[in-house]
Amino acid sequence: MFKALNDKMDLILSIVQKKSGDSAKVQPINLSAGGCRFASEEYHDMRAIMDITIRFTDETEIRGLSYVVMCRKGDATPFGSYQMAVEFQSMIDSHRNILDNKIMERQRDMIKEKREAGEAA
C-alpha cells in the first residue's frame, strides 16, 4: 500500500516539477538524508505538510513533501527568527539520488579538509 502511495506521489511531483525556488533567499541549511533545518520568517505548526524546494549553489534542485518536526522562536537572522526543521516524506527517486550524492560529496570534502588541517599542523 505504501509503495503505491509513494509511486502516486512521485508521479504527482514529477508532473508539477518546475523551478520553484526563484523567490527564495539564499541561506545556509543543515541538511541530511532525512530532512533539513533552516531559519524561517514564519511560524509553522508541528506536523504541517510543506512542499520544500532546495536549490544548491550549482543550480541543482530537489523538491519533496515534508512534515514540520520543529518550529521555535530563535535568534533573529536575515532569514527569519524561527528555527525550523522538516522531515522529508516523499521525494521522486531522481531527487533522492541528487540528495544522497550531495551529502556524500560534502562528507568527502569534510574528510579532505580535516586531513589537510592535520597535515598543516
| Longest distance between any two alpha carbons in the chain, whole Å | 55
Would you call 53 exposed, middle or buried from its count of C-beta atoms within 10 A (0-12, 13-18, 19+)? middle
Per-residue pLDDT, 14: 52
* Residue 72 confidence (pLDDT) above 80: yes
Per-residue pLDDT, 118: 84
* Residue 91 confidence (pLDDT) above 90: yes
66: confidence class by pLDDT, cuts 50, 70, 90: very high
Name the nearest CA neighbour of 47 among 3, 89, 105, 95.
89
Tens of pLDDT, residue by residue over 8-64, are: 555 555 544 444 444 566 788 999 999 999 999 999 999 999 999 999 988 899 999
Average pLDDT, the chain: 85
> Which domains can be identified in the chain, with CATH numbers?
2-120 (2.40.10)
